[in-house]
Each structure stands twice: as C-alpha cells, then as structure tokens.
Amino acid sequence: MKNNKKYILVTGATSGIGKAIALSCARYGHYVYGTTRAYDENKLQELNDIIKQEGLKFEWLELDVTNDASIAKLSEALNERPLDVLVNNAGFGVLGPVENYSVEEVQKQMDTNFFGVVRMITKFLPKIAQSQTPQIINISSIAGILSAPAYGIYSASKNALEAYSEALYYEVFHRGIRVSLVEPGGFDTGFSANSIGLNSDELQKQPSWYRNIIKLRSRKVGSDKKVVSSSRDPMRVGELVLAIMNSNSRRLRNFIGSGAYTTYLLRRYLPSSVWQGIMKLVIKRFS
C-alpha cells in the first residue's frame, strides 16, 4: 500500500451516505473498515458483490455506537491494525412535533447521533493521534445548523454534534489532527425508512401541518434503492468526504446537496425576525 493510502473506519457503512463514503474511499485505493450493527449476508450481498468484483480493500466489522461493549470489541479488533481516519456517519432521524416525544425517545436520538460519536471519539482519538495523517470526519446535517418545524429533536442531536466537533477542531488542531464536519442537505438513502415519525400509523396522530409537509416531502424523496435525481445521489457525499481526506484543507464545515449552503447563508444573513417569519408561514401554509 502506497504512503498516501489510508486506513479508514466508516460507521454505518451498510447503506446510504455511509455506503457511498466507504465505496468512494475503497475505490480510490484506501483500506476501509466498514461497520454494521449485525452482519447480514443477504442484506449486504449487493455491496459485497461490488467489493469482490472490483477487488476493493474492504472489511466488515460489527458495531453499535450506543453500546460501550460493542465499541470496546471493535477497539480490540483494531488493536494491532493501523487507523488514520474515523468517519462518524451512523445515525437516524426522530421527526415530528417535539411535543409528541418523551424524554426516553429524545434520549435514544441523542444516544446514536451525538453520544455515539462521543463514544467513538473518546475511544479512538488516542489511536488516530498516532497516525501520520490523523483525521476525524463527522457527518452532521444542515439540520444541525438550523431548527425547522418537525426537525427539532433531530436538529438538537446534530446541533450538539456541531458544537462538540467545533471545540474539538480547535483543541486538536495544533497536534495536527484534522476535524471536519459535513452538512448534507437531502439525499436518497435509507434515512426515511429508518426514521421514527414517518410511517403512516404514526402520521395519523399528527397535526395537519406535519402530515402535509410529509406528504410533499414523500413526493420528492427517494430511497436507498431508488435515487430520484442525480442531485440527491449519496455518492456525491462519498466523493466530498474522499476529497476532504485527500486534500490538505482545514475547512471545518462542508455543505453539500439540496440547497444546504443556500439555506445556511439565508439563516446566517437574514435578520432573525425574517427567518422566524418564514418558519411561521410554513406552518400556516401547511395547516
């Protein structure tokens, strides 16, 4: 393996954005450790066929980021192995009006999307720090930068990730450890199928503004098996993450997809009163 080839750990590599990152990195020639909560030959057959046909350096390891014992087992498996880059991608959504969710349900969201990353970084930072090219890439979301109706709980988890990652970025910068955030907009992945708050039973109990937003959303959004437009293809995120790895860029935030950067600019530069007015109009329009 040449010196510029890296050993990369991608959490949640079975579908969507994680799969795209893992494939982009492996196709470039990097060695990828891809994780799944429970290895399932049938579920992973399509991806395994690609790995085999293309002769990719790809290894499956089991990991549940909410489980300390699982993280300890992964750490043991990688004990004598090199590791240069950790990509924290594993995550899911809890969507819908915030008042509908109990503390326990909100904690579950935080446990994967935020504490899952905290656990991984706490465990693997010392190992990554030994690499010649140490790097951590956290997959956040445009929802981590702003909070919109129906996205409050998901946004809270990604907003916590944003704050944590930004502090880490400053704290390890002088040790040569690169930290990046990626803020995707909408991409066609397993996200909708794996999110809580989107199935039809759950929707019936929701206020009309939420049901109408979801109706509109479902017309525009594809799935892990069906990408509705090239702009929503998660491979774009895969290519971006590979580019972040291969460049010397020290940029902390990296927006990509479906108006993510425009939304960020609007949120940043519009007066708060105007932004809040727009959000109130959304509820009124969909009620």
* Nearest partner of 253 among 189, 198, 182, 147, judged by Cα: 182
Nearer to ligand NAP, 135 or 263 (CB): 263
Distance CA 78, CA 112 (A): 21
What are the C-alpha distances in Å from 241 to residues 57, 98, 193, 198, 199? Answer: 18, 31, 24, 28, 31
Structure tokens belonging to residue 218: 């479902």
**Residue with Cβ nearer ligand NAP (105 or 132):** 105
154 is catalytic: yes
- State which of positions 174-193 bind ligand NAP (CB under 6 A): 184, 186-187, 189-191
Within 10 Å of residue 42's Cβ, how many Cβ atoms? 6
Q: Which is nearer to ligand NAP, 142 or 177 (CB)?
A: 142
Q: Which of 7, 33, 154, 164 is catalytic?
A: 154
Burial 43-68 (b: 16+ CB within 10 A, else e): ebeebeeebeeeebbbbbbebbbbee
Using CB under 6 A, pick the residue from 141, 147, 180, 254 that binds ligand NAP: 141
Size of site (CB under 6 A) for ligand NAP: 29
- By CB under 6 A, is residue 152 in contact with ligand NAP? no
- CA dist., res. 113 & res. 111, Å (int): 6
Exactly one of 7, 8, 14, 95 binds ligand NAP (CB under 6 A); which one?
Answer: 14
**Can 5 be counted among the known catalytic residues?**
no
- Tell me which of 11, 24, 147, 155 binds ligand NAP, using CB under 6 A: 11
Positions in 244-273 near ligand NAP (CB under 6 A): none
Shortest distance in whole angstroms from residue 281 CB to ligand NAP: 24
> Annotated catalytic residue: which of 19, 108, 127, 158?
158
DSSP characters over 205-225: TS-HHHHHHHHHHHHH---SS
* Dist CA 199 CA 192 (whole Å): 9
Residue 239 CA, distance from chain mean position: 14
Q: Which residues inside 198-227 make contact with ligand NAP, applying CB under 6 A?
A: 224
CB of 158 to ligand NAP, least distance (A): 7
CA–CA dist 111, 64 (Å, integer): 11
**Catalytic residue list contains 57:** no
Question: Which residues in 29-88 contact ligand NAP (CB under 6 A)?
Answer: 36-37, 63-66
Residue closer to ligand NAP by CB (options 27, 37) is 37
Q: How far is the CB of 238 from ligand NAP (least distance, A)?
A: 10
What is the footprint of ligand NAP within residues 88-127 (CB under 6 A)? 89-92, 112, 116
What radius of gyration do the chain's Cα atoms show?
19
Cα–Cα dist 92/90, whole Å: 7
Residues near ligand NAP (CB under 6 A)? 11-12, 14-18, 36-37, 63-66, 89-92, 112, 116, 139, 141, 184, 186-187, 189-191, 194, 224
Enumerate the active-site residues: 140, 154, 158
